[in-house]
Amino acid sequence: MEDRRVQRTRKLLEQALLELIAEQDYDSITVRQITDRANMGRATFYLHFTDKEHLLLTTVQVLQKDLAQRLQPLNRQDLLSEENMLGEKIFQHVAHYQDLYRVLLGERGAAVVRQRLMEAMTQAAEHYVVHALLEITPEPAIPTSFLASFLSSTTYTAIKWWLDQPQQPPPAEMGRLIRKLTTPGMLAILDIDPRQLSSPS
- The reply to whether 109 and 20 lie within a common domain is no
- The reply to whether 140 and 179 lie within a common domain is yes
- The reply to whether 126 and 179 lie within a common domain is yes
At 174 the pLDDT is 94
At 198 the pLDDT is 61
- The reply to whether 123 and 162 lie within a common domain is yes
CB 58 within 8 A of CB 49: yes
- The reply to whether 40 and 12 lie within a common domain is yes
- The reply to whether 73 and 135 lie within a common domain is yes
At 31 the pLDDT is 96
- The reply to whether 153 and 170 lie within a common domain is yes
Helix 85-96 × helix 171-190 angle, to 10°: 140
- The reply to whether 103 and 20 lie within a common domain is no
Last residue of a domain, one of 48, 67, 84: 48
Low-confidence ranges of the chain (pLDDT < 70): 1-2, 76-84, 194-201
- The reply to whether 103 and 190 lie within a common domain is yes
Domain range for 29: 2-48
CB 169 within 8 A of CB 88: no
Residue 34, domain CATH: 1.10.10.60
Amino acid identity of 176? R
- The reply to whether 61 and 19 lie within a common domain is no
- The reply to whether 137 and 172 lie within a common domain is yes
- The reply to whether 66 and 145 lie within a common domain is yes
What tens digit of pLDDT does each residue of 146-191 get? 888 988 999 999 999 999 999 999 999 998 999 888 888 877 777 7
> 3-state DSSP call for residue 63?
helix
At 79 the pLDDT is 64
Number of folded domains that form the chain: 2
Closest CA to 38 of 168, 48, 161: 48
